[in-house]
Amino acid sequence: MLFSTWSFLFFFLIFAAGYSLFRRRPTGRLIWLLAGSYFFYGFMDVRFLLPLMVTTVTDFIAGKGIERGKHPKLFLALSLTVDLGILCTFKYLNFFTENLQSLIDAVGWEWELPSSELLLPVGISFYTFQSLSYTLGVYWKKNRAEHNLLRYAAFVAMFPQILAGPIERAANMLPQLRHTPLIRRVEINDGISLFIVGLFKKAVMADMLAVYVNQVYGDLNAYSSLSVFLAAFFYSWQIYFDFSGYSDMARGVARVLGFRLMLNFDNPYTSVDIRDFWRKWHISLSSWFKDHVYIPMGGGRCVKYRVWWNVMVTMVVSGFWHGAAWNFIIWGALNGIGSILSPRSDRDSWYGKVPRLLRQLMTFLFITVTWVFFKKSTVPEALEVLRRSISFQGGINLIPVVPLILVLIIWVWQLLYDSSYRRFLSLRPVRLGALALILFLLFALSGGSHEQFIYFQF
C-alpha cells in the first residue's frame, strides 16, 4: 500500500478512528497498531509477513537473552544469524549464486547452480536493520531489552516506516510506544504539512523527472550530450524527491499518530563536501552504519590508513545494502573514495576559503556522477552515460523548461534555508505562497503515470 493511493487514505481513516478509541488503553493501542501495521504490510503480499514475524520474535528473545547476561554473545549471534540469514536468503542469494556460477563457468567446470525464485519482501532491508539495531543496542548497552512482545513487534512493524524507513532506533521509538501518544493540534498540523510536501515531492517532482530520465536513458544514443547531462542531473533530483518524499509522508503519518520519527533528509544537495552529504542524505541509514559498522571498527580514531579502510568498508557495505548488484557496490566504493580523497570544509582550511556555493556545486556534481553508477546496472553503461554527457555530441536536444525551473526553485529554496537568508523563507507570505504553489502543482500535475518508489526495491 502506497501513501499516495486511495487505499491508504481509506486504511488510514479507519485506522486513525480505531487508534483514537484505544489511545489511552496501552494494550489495546499496541494491538491496534500492530494489527494495522501487519494489514498495511501484508496488503502487498501476505507471505511477506512470515520473515517479518520470524525476525521480530527472534530479536525479542535475543534481546532478553542478551540482557539476562548468561550467554550474551550466543544470543547476539542468534539475532545476527537469523536476521542476516533471512536478508541474505531473500535479497543476496541469487547475487552470490550468479557470481559463483560465473566463476565456475570461467574455470570450466560443468556445474549448474540453482537460482532462487523467492519474492523479495518489500522493505526487508529496512526492518531488518531496525530490528538488528535493537539487539546490537542491547548488547552494547545503548538501550534496554523490551519485555513486551506486542510493543516490540509494533516497533519493528510500525506501518508509517516499515516499507522504506526512516530506520528508527529502539531508544527513540520504544519509549514513545510505552507512553500515551501526545496528539495535539501541532502534531496534526505538522503531520499534514509534512505529508503535503512529501506527496508533492513524489507525485509531482519525482514522477515528472522520471519521465525524462527514463526516456533519455532508454535511448542514450538518440539524445544530445546536453540532454544526457540533464538526465543525470534530473536523476539526482528524482531519487532525492522520491525517497525524501516518502520519508516526509512517513514522518507526517507518524506525527499525526503522535510519534516522532527522525529527520531522514536534511537538504543533502546543499552539502559542502562528501562527508557532509552523508550526514544529510538518508540520515537514518548513514547513522546506522556509522553507529554499527564504522565506529565499532575504530571510526576516525585510528591511524590514517585504518580510517580510510573503515570508511571504504562502511561505504561499500552501505552500497551492498542498497542492492545485490555490482553497480551498488561500485557506487558505495566511489562514495568511499570521495569521502577519503575530497577536501573537507571542517578540516582543510584552504577548502573552507572556497566560496560556499562553489563547494556546494562541486559536491553536487560528484554525487551526480556517483548516481549514474547507481542508476545504470553495469559499469560500461554508466561510463557511456558519463562519456556522452561530456562529449558534446549532437542528437535530440530535450530540455524540459518547466521541470528545470521547478528543480532550480527548490534548490534555491534549500540553499537559502542553509544560509543566513533563512529568515526570508520563514516570512508568512513566502511560506504560504510556497504552499499554494505546491497545492496548485499537486492538483495540476499529480495523477497519471506513477513510478514505484525507488527505495522500495531495497
If the CB atoms of residues 42 and 400 are measured against another protein, the closer one turns out to be: 400
Query: Between the CA of residue 331 and those of 125, 367, 426, what are the distances in Å?
Result: 18, 10, 37
Rg of the chain over all Cα atoms, to the nearest angstrom: 23
Nearer residue to another protein within complex by CB, 1 or 337: 1
Closest among 364, 65, 345 to 233, alpha carbons compared: 364
Query: Least distance to another protein from the beta carbon of 239, Å?
Result: 17
* The one-letter amino acid at 301: R
d(CA 286, CA 253): 23
State the catalytic residue, choosing from 71, 147, 282, 322. Answer: 322
Select 116 or 215, whichever has its Cβ closest to another protein: 215
Q: How far is the CB of 193 from another protein (least distance, A)?
A: 5
- Would you mind telling me the total number of residues written for the chain in this entry? 458
Quote the least distance from Cβ 111 to another protein, whole Å: 42
Does residue 322 have an active-site annotation? yes
Work out how close the CB of 3 gets to another protein at its nearest, in angstroms, rounded to a whole number: 12
| 101: its cell numbers | 556460477
Q: How far is the CB of 134 from another protein (least distance, A)?
A: 11
Smallest distance from the beta carbon of 384 to another protein, in angstroms? 22
Task: Please list the alpha-helical segments (H only) found in 257-325.
Answer: 274-280, 283-289, 304-322
Tell me how far, at minimum, the Cβ of 304 lies from another protein, in Å. Answer: 27
Q: Provide long-range contacts, Cβ within 8 A and 24+ apart, for 6-12.
A: 7/43, 11/36, 11/39, 11/40, 11/43, 12/253
In the complex with another protein, the residue whose CB is nearer, 221 or 449, is 449
Q: What is residue 457's DSSP assignment? A: G
**Residue 95: phi, psi to the nearest 5?**
-60, -45
Residue 398's nearest CA partner among 246, 223, 268 is 223
User: 93's torsion region: left (phi>0), alpha (psi -120 to 50) or beta?
Assistant: alpha
DSSP H helices, 69-123, are 72-87, 93-107
Identify which of residues 160 and 403 has a Cβ nearer to another protein in the complex.
403
Between 95 and 278, name the residue whose CB sits nearer to another protein: 278
Is the Cβ of residue 212 or residue 237 nearer to another protein in the bound state? 212
**Cβ neighbours around 194 below 10 Å, total:** 21
Site residues (vs another protein, CB under 8 A): 5-7, 10, 137, 141-143, 169, 171-172, 185, 188-190, 192-194, 197, 204, 207-208, 211-212, 215, 248, 255, 260, 262-263, 265-267, 398-403, 413-414, 417, 422, 425-426, 428, 431-432, 434-436, 439-440, 443-445, 447-449
CA 295, 300, 302, 307 dihedral sign is positive
- Catalytic residue ranges: 322
